[in-house]
Chains A and B, each alone.
Chain A
């Protein structure tokens, strides 16, 4: 295929994507001239280029479409459902031919006469309207070169959505009014075209790889220069430049989620028609950016989730009306960034998940036993939909229930280091929350060691760490016929010994100290026992050769800051290998956490002397037991030395020879909080001052007790300036 044809294909596909978006918008605002002009332009461009390249089928079809669009654009015809449907099927036909060209270089055989006749017929004057009536608003619309973003609040008044006039700004953006400029600049904007460039994804991948390499080399250099002050300065520069470069390359790979979202208006429209439902799609946060490869990876899970929301979520119009709801259901897609994750929510205002039906179905499919079912709470029952082989669709429809269940959604999302959470309320609707890491190439991981060898454990699956001294390990690890268990807050946690799993040790009792990494992989909860822990590190994932992939326990390899190599453990595969089954009870933890985000957050409850204090759990990096005599003083600040780095300490006057240091994150720096012991993890409720109702600072209600929160930002900075941060 020559370059010209390839370029034509890319441009045409983009043009058709835009046309599809505009067409669904047009249904809401049939009189919007700019939309029509935009659609016209897409078809016109295709027609122009095809004639030149000699694709006669495309040319004829595009020509027929252009004629009809010309009438619409000039206001001689008003777009109605029949016209929009015809244009959408024209679009499908054009796409089909483009696919043929891409595959074989030729347009392929096909009958276009019927389509052309249909388009011709629609040009008949019964749908035409007086051109005069349009004339008044025409010039105003035309004079606008750039469309103003039209956002609106989600009001229930339907009248508002029909008007094309700018409306009050609001956060929610209704899809049918979504500004196409946010998504993709129209062809008319020459400036954008001149300042952008198409880049091969392979090249970007290669660049990312090289940057990763640079990061590793930099890490190694930083560990080695300390004596020479000139070198220190230079290495600082290198450090900064590398960080900036990495960010820039990562940015180049980012695409707004609108690339995926833009497919949905059409899909929702078609599905709703097919199912005789009325559904309005609201999209928010389309400008949120995600790595291209991840965007590709979530396309299918997201599509499935939206289908589910329409098929199972939103009820039929008469059911909705009987329940006192608007006959038109709403499906909302919302994307936003939260830390190093992008959250995508698919929510509907339908009937919610029917727990009884889920339970019955799970019993029928023998996914759980009757006794088990009786013990489960509603929330736990909801988690059953993530089990393989579960589908509640009453009838197998064309839409969902084709064997692609929620388990596939979850597996696909977890494969890229993400998480799926579900929340549902009867009569109010269901929210599915996909938590996707910003990038795949670099992941935060905890470095663990087993029999002297380092391994990287992705932090996405890690929920907490438990340390047992050799003595405690002997006492507290419990056994049922060779299967090891640990009582974690009263519940039995199955344990997997990494050294045993990897064949580094013969069967038998474990001795020595143990670190239990409590993992949650694809809904399976277990503790991975390792014999050592190192700092968390941002690792660059390198793929393994197929021979090593076949081992099935490693998802890749990486080079650590100290130059050592480490294999990346795959928590899901380990769970499968160790026959860990889906734990329903513990899964609710995540859901509750998501729910709690509104008001309550989780805290680590600690004790120093007689006082109880707390730190927000999400700031905690690790917890260590340290002999008191390791404490040193620097310029009046208590500090600890950790592998060459200094840790400023918030000393709560813990007593005894040993103290527990909770290492927390405060912005970029790490801060230690010294306490006597760590008690528990609990949910905190915000408190407010009586009378003024202002939120009380640095205090929370934990286990029904007022507890002070350690102000991490108040820990004095080290007098030597900023601490070295590795990444």
Chain B
């Protein structure tokens, strides 16, 4: 993944905010952004599932980034980014979607060793921006199918 990134000159990242942290996701991977749709809770679902959202006639399973990071629930409704995963589409719930940023491979650094294992497995690295850090997210790592496998192994 990262080697592919490096071969490009500049990358466009959609920045999203969860809590205090700014995350970046390559815009090419985003199918659509849904502005604060209603989500429907699913009882007994794994903790990281943010509920169901309505997306183009289908029922979209969403992953809550907040809960992946063991943060408390967001009080108001969240924005949803739609990706294509192994098992069809899935959504990622974030506090809010911010602007699109341009980053260059030169600014990239891999995860710091001090990060806990959980976060290491979720984050793909960091871009050092002038204004701060942009934590890189790889949608493949957020696929609910993969996350469910991960939860099982932890359990």
A binds B: yes
Q: Indicate if B145 sits at the interface (CB-CB under 8 A).
A: yes
Determine if B49 and A559 form an interchain contact, defined as CB atoms under 8 angstroms apart. no
B43 adjacent to A453 (CB under 8 Å): yes
A551 on the interface (CB 8 Å rule)?
yes
Complex interface residues of chain A between 307 and 328 (CB less than 8 A to chain B): none
| B61:A544 contact, CB within 8 angstroms | yes
A559 engages B54 (CB within 8 Å): yes
**Are B90's CB and A545's CB within 8 A?**
yes
Q: Does A502 contact B (CB under 8 A)?
A: yes
Q: How far is the CB of B49 from chain A (nearest CB, A)?
A: 7
Whether the pair A565, B49 counts as a contact (CB closer than 8 A) is no
Rounded to whole Å, the gap between the CB of A537 and the closest CB of chain B is 16
CA A553 to CA B87, docked complex, whole Å: 19
Q: Is the CB of A213 within 8 A of B46?
A: no
Residues of A within 8 A of B57 (CB): 209-210, 212-213, 542
Q: Which of B49, B54, B58 contacts A548 (CB 8 A)?
A: B49
Number of residues of chain A lying within 8 A (CB) of chain B:
27
Query: Is there an interface contact between A542 and B59, defined as CB atoms closer than 8 Å?
Result: yes
Cross-chain contact A453 with B41 (CB below 8 angstroms): yes
Q: Please give me the residue from chain B that is nearest to A553 by CB atom.
A: B44
**A547–B44 CB distance below 8 A:** no
Q: Please tell me if B52 contacts chain A, counting CB pairs below 8 Å.
A: yes
Kindly state the separation between the CA atoms of A213 and B43 in the bound complex, as whole angstroms. Answer: 25
Known: A544-B59, A545-B144. Is A551-B87 also a contact (CB below 8 A)? no
Q: Is B88 an interface residue (CB 8 A)?
A: yes
Tell yes or no: B40 within 8 A of A by CB.
Answer: yes
In B129-155, which residues have CB < 8 Å from any A CB?
A: 144-145, 147-148
B61 and A550 contacting across the interface, CB-CB below 8 Å: no
Partner of A504, one of B38, B40, B43, B90: B43
- Which chain A residues border B38 with CB–CB below 8 Å? 563-565
- Whether B87 and A545, one on each chain, are in contact in the complex, defined by CB atoms closer than 8 angstroms, is yes
Q: Are B45 and A545 in contact (CB under 8 A)?
A: no
Annotate A553-576 by CB proximity to B: 1 below 8 A, 0 otherwise: 110110100011111000000000
Q: Which residues of B contact A212 (CB under 8 A)?
A: 57
Name the residue in A213, A551, A553, A565 with the highest tally of chain B Cβ atoms < 10 Å from its Cβ.
Answer: A565
A543 within 8 A of B: yes
Interface residues of A in 188-219 (CB under 8 A from B): 209-210, 212-213
B144: A residues at CB distance < 8 A: 545, 547
Instruction: Name the residue on A nearest B147 (C-beta).
Output: A547
Within 8 A of B (CB), among A201-255: 209-210, 212-213
Interface check A125, CB cutoff 8 A:
no
Question: Are B59 and A543 in touch, CB under 8 angstroms?
Answer: yes
Flag if A502 contacts B43 (CB, 8 Å). yes
From known contacts A545-B90, A546-B87, infer whether A502 and B59 are also in contact, taking CB-CB under 8 Å. no
User: Do A547 and B43 contact each other (CB < 8 Å), given the known contacts A209-B57, A213-B57, A565-B54?
Assistant: no
- A503 adjacent to chain B (CB < 8 Å): yes
Nearest-neighbor residue (CB-CB) of A209 within chain B: B57
Q: How far is the CA of A564 from the CA of B39 in the complex (A)?
A: 9
**Of A213, A543, A550, A565, which contacts B148 at CB under 8 A?**
A550
Tell yes or no: B42 within 8 A of A by CB.
yes
Q: What CA separation (Å) do A543 and B61 show in the bound complex?
A: 11
Interface string of A508-546 (1 = CB under 8 A from B): 000000000000000000000000000000000011111
Complex Cα distance, B45 from A563, in Å, reads 22
List B contacts of A566 (CB < 8 A). Answer: 40
Q: Pick the contact of B42: A546, A563, A567 (CB < 8 A).
A: A567
Residues of B within 8 A of A453 (CB): 40-41, 43
Q: Mark B49-87, 1 if CB is under 8 A from A, else 0.
A: 100101001110100000000000000000000000001
User: B49 and A557: CB pair below 8 A?
Assistant: no
Number of A-B residue pairs with CB-CB distance less than 8 Å in the complex they form: 66
Interface centre among A213, A553, A567 (most CB of B within 10 A): A567
Q: How far is the CA of A97 from the CA of B145 in the complex (A)?
A: 40
* Chain B count of residues within 8 A CB distance of the other chain: 22
Q: Name A547's contact: one of B54, B58, B61 (CB within 8 Å).
A: B61
The answer to whether B42 and A551 have CB atoms under 8 Å apart is: yes
Chain A residue contacts of B147, Cβ below 8 A: 547
Query: Chain A contacts of B58 at CB under 8 A?
Result: 209, 542
Q: Assess the B42–A548 pair: CB atoms within 8 A.
A: yes
What's the minimum C-beta distance from A547 to chain B, rounded to whole angstroms? 4
Nearest residue (CB) in A for B48 is: A547
A-chain residues with CB within 8 Å of residue B90 when the two chains form the complex: 545
Q: A547-B144, A559-B54 are in contact. Are A503 and B44 (CB under 8 A)?
A: yes
A503 engages B43 (CB within 8 Å): yes
User: How many Å from the CB of A399 to the closest CB on chain B?
Assistant: 40
Contacts of B40 in A (CB 8 A): 453, 557, 564-567
Q: What 1/0 flags go to A444-459 for Cβ under 8 Å of B?
A: 0000000001000000
Report chain B residues within 8 Å CB of A557.
40, 52, 59
CA distance A523 to B122 in the complex (A): 46
Task: Give the Cβ gap from A134 to chain B, nearest Cβ, in Å.
Answer: 61
A502 engages B145 (CB within 8 Å)? no
Contact B87 A547 (CB under 8 A): yes
- B46 and A547: CB pair below 8 A? yes
Q: Do the beta carbons of A545 and B44 come within 8 Å of each other?
A: no
B-contact 0/1 string along A659-701, CB 8 Å cutoff: 0000000000000000000000000000000000000000000
Taking a contact as CB atoms under 8 Å apart, the answer to whether A547 and B59 are in contact is: no
Q: Given A550-B148, A565-B52, A565-B59: A545 and B88 within 8 A (CB)? A: yes
Chain B residues lying within 8 Å of A503, measured Cβ to Cβ, are: 43-44
A504 to B45: give the CA distance in the assembly, Å: 12
Q: How far is the CB of A219 from chain B (nearest CB, A)?
A: 13
Please name all residues of chain A whose beta carbon is closer than 8 Å to the beta carbon of B148 when the two chains form the complex.
547, 550
Give the Cβ gap from A574 to chain B, nearest Cβ, in Å. Answer: 12
Q: Which residues of A contact B46 (CB under 8 A)?
A: 547
Chain B residues whose CB sits within 8 angstroms of the CB of A554 once the complex forms = 42
- Inter-chain CA distance A542–B61, complex, in Å, is 12
Least distance between A614 CB and chain B CB atoms (Å): 40
Distance (Å) between the CB of A563 and the closest chain B CB?
Answer: 8
Minimal beta-carbon separation of A685 from chain B (angstroms) = 46
Q: Indicate the member of B38, B54, B87, B90 with the most A CB atoms within 10 Å.
A: B54
Chain A's nearest CB lies how many Å from the CB of B9?
A: 36
A546 nearest CB neighbor, chain B only: B87
B43, A546: Cβ atoms under 8 Å?
Answer: no
Q: A559-B54, A565-B52 are in contact. Are A548 and B61 (CB under 8 A)?
A: yes
Give, as a whole number of angstroms, the nearest-CB distance from A89 to chain B.
45
Chain A residues lying within 8 Å of B49, measured Cβ to Cβ, are: 547-548
Smallest CB separation, A653 vs chain B (Å): 45
B143 to chain A: closest CB distance in Å?
9
B45 cross-chain contacts in A, Cβ below 8 A: 547-548, 551
Cα separation A565 to B148 with both chains bound (whole Å): 23
- Name 11 extra pairs, CB < 8 A, besides A503-B44, A557-B52: A504-B43, A542-B59, A545-B145, A548-B45, A548-B49, A551-B44, A557-B40, A557-B59, A564-B38, A565-B38, A565-B59
Q: Could you list 17 A-B pairs, sorted by A, with CB under 8 Å? A: A212-B57, A453-B41, A502-B43, A503-B44, A542-B57, A542-B59, A544-B59, A545-B87, A545-B88, A545-B90, A547-B61, A547-B147, A548-B52, A551-B42, A556-B59, A559-B59, A566-B40
Q: Taking beta carbons and an 8 Å cutoff, which residues of A are in contact with B?
A: 209-210, 212-213, 453, 502-504, 542-548, 550-551, 553-554, 556-557, 559, 563-567
